Amino acid sequence: MSLHRLLLRRAAEGRPVRVAQVGAGKFGAMFLHQARATPGLHVLGIADLSLPRTRQRLASVHWPPEAHAAASLDEAARRGTTHLTEDAMALIADPRVEVVVECTGDPAAGLRHARHAIAHGKHVVMVNVEADVLAGPLLAREAARAGVVYSMAYGDQPALVCELVDTLRAAGFPVVAAGKGTKYLPHFHASTPATVWGFYGLTEEQARAGGMNPQMFNSFLDGTKSGIEMAAIANATGLAPPEDGLLFPPAGTSELPRVLRPRDEGGVLARKGMVEVVSSVRRDGTAIPDDLRWGVYAVFEGETEYARRCFSEYGVATDETGRYAALWRPYHLIGLELGVSVASAALRGEPTGSTEAWRADVVAVAKRALRAGEVLDGDGGATVWGKCVPAARSRALGALPIGLAHRVRLLRDVAEGAIVTRADVALDPASEAVRIRAEMEAGFA
């Protein structure tokens, strides 16, 4: 039975899927817009550190004030409205909540909220990919033991890539490469929150009016978000991360099967079965007409002459040999599609992509020469960006995960372009995020 029909059934029974959402930023607001239009879903409560900002967000996505005026969770449950609170932990623990949507974007907060949800028997939809890459394998294992779902967020690119990979593998095709598109040039790695809007062609006023966070959008630009998303895909699918970071080869959709094949066959991959991000512009900055800037892709292989003949007969996009083919989706709908994950977790007991193992990590790399005593400002900041590498290499180097590079002081100088190690910084051993990460590493090394 389709998810839509299952949701309609829950609506008809007067038992909507009740959701607790933590964080009401851009992604969360997009989900909230669609949630009110989805029968069988009820956002019981929203937790955020700034309730005035949350009310502004709700007004911007057409929520009338009476829809979120409930003074308590009891009233919200009775009236079918939404309670606003700053107490995320109490909201998550409410017995009426079935699914927790974590979309704070803060790795430490994400780990704390997800573990709390799992401990209280709630399904978790982890929009917070930063937290997932920091310790997702541990969270997924804890969720499985608790009998709940730990899921990637549909609408975000990792879940959509996982869907493509699963579809192809279920049909018996080997997946050669999978990933997403973005606009990339090498000098973007040095971008800071102070320079980011110029790269997007926006003024600070326009960005502010759109509710855009400069550090978050800078993480998209400087390569960190791409690294985080590819690491999440690698950990969920078994596809391999590159040894020394993503290559970001320029490629349009027509070029995907040719570019995303092994090097010894004329492509850029070290081997078959890897994650990679393609750039929507050439290295000289010229645009690629059929770019995949907003989309996702998977390249797969026709291993027999018969399969390759079928590709040709039915117009499948292939390389010149006919052996390598590509599927892609030209864009994603971000939080507007998130309800698919919520419904799948609650009604089917299935994730829309989920971490399985610790195969890839995202390590902090110095954007410029850093000096002892400086404080790192995390992903999207002015000091470091995140590079996707194999987890084994990260562990061997003692590399600092990008998720732990927030508000930590350097103990010694780090050269521009160098991977920051844990020995370079003063990590707080009492930090919850540090402890959870250590637990994950011990369990999945």
pLDDT digits (tens, 9 = 90+) for 249-285: 999 999 999 999 999 999 999 999 999 999 999 999 9
- The pLDDT score that the predictor gives to residue 213 is 85
The superfamily (CATH) of domain 3-153+336-348 is NAD(P)-binding Rossmann-like Domain (3.40.50.720)
The full set of domain ranges for the chain reads: 3-153+336-348, 158-184+223-331, 360-444
Which carries the bigger pLDDT value, residue 211 or residue 233? 233
**Domain 3-153+336-348 and domain 360-444 have a common topology:** no
Task: Give the span between the Cα atoms of 435 and 428, in whole angstroms.
Answer: 9
Alpha-carbon dihedral angle through residues 177, 290, 330, 260, given to the nearest 10 degrees:
0
- How does pLDDT run across 417-439, given as a tens digit for each residue? 999 999 999 999 999 999 999 99
Class of domain 360-444: alpha beta
- The pLDDT score that the predictor gives to residue 367 is 98
Q: What is the mean pLDDT of residues 58-67?
A: 96
**What average pLDDT does the structure give for the chain?**
96
- The pLDDT score that the predictor gives to residue 302 is 97
- The pLDDT score that the predictor gives to residue 201 is 85
Q: What is the mean pLDDT of residues 184-205?
A: 92
Question: Above pLDDT 70, what percent of the chain?
Answer: 100
- The pLDDT score that the predictor gives to residue 200 is 86
- The pLDDT score that the predictor gives to residue 369 is 98
- The pLDDT score that the predictor gives to residue 1 is 65
pLDDT above 90 (res 359): yes
pLDDT above 80 (res 236): yes
- How does pLDDT run across 371-403, given as a tens digit for each residue? 999 999 999 999 999 999 999 999 999 999 999
